[in-house]
Amino acid sequence: MVSKKITILFLFVVLLCLQTYAQRQTFDLSDFSMFPQDESGTTAHINCDEKLKNIEENLTQANLKRQGYGYSVQIFFGSGNDARLQAENARKKFLTKFSDYEAAMVYEPPYFKVRAGNCRTKLEATKLKKLFASEYPGCFIVECKISYPEL
């Protein structure tokens, strides 16, 4: 009786393993453009779940764009006939005062905006806001797309 239960349990485990193996997909690393092609003809094949492959492809594409969501400090926004010129002047003035930081002019109709810093966390943005507040007392933190730094 005990050996019959063990046999049934063993068959169940084998069937479970076979089902898991059947759901896996094989793909070649050459499918991803992040690895240079060499002339040796060496290839590597990885067996993984289809969901994992999709996650890897999405991360690879996001990394190529080098953008993601984060925080910046908005130091200027305005609309009107001369808003673009005012935004360009605000950006130039900012870059002369704070040359270690990036500043970008953004147009979101009907406003021209100048945002400084590419912060991944709100804490980083808060530190920058405190730094910029002496020169730009009305500055505030915004959540927006940021560019990741070159590594």
pLDDT at 12: 67
Could you tell me the sign of the dihedral formed by the alpha carbons of 44, 50, 52, 53, in that order? positive
pLDDT at 127: 96
pLDDT at 4: 73
pLDDT at 128: 96
- Kindly give the residue spans of alpha helices, DSSP state H, lying in the chain: 2-22, 50-65, 83-97, 122-132
Please give the Cα distance from 111 to 81 (Å, whole number). 11
Quick count: other Cβ atoms within 10 Å of Cβ 18?
10
Structure tokens of 58?
């999405």
pLDDT at 69: 87
pLDDT at 16: 62
Give residue-wise pLDDT tens across range 51-84: 777 777 777 776 666 677 899 999 999 999 999 9
Structure tokens of 97?
């005062």
pLDDT at 148: 72
pLDDT at 5: 72
Instruction: Kindly give the parts of the chain with pLDDT less than 70.
Output: 1-2, 9, 11-12, 14-46, 48, 62-66, 149-151
Please give the Cα distance from 56 to 34 (Å, whole number). 11
Measuring CA to CA, which residue among 117, 124, 78 is closest to residue 98?
A: 117
pLDDT at 60: 72
Please give the Cα distance from 104 to 98 (Å, whole number). 13
pLDDT at 31: 54
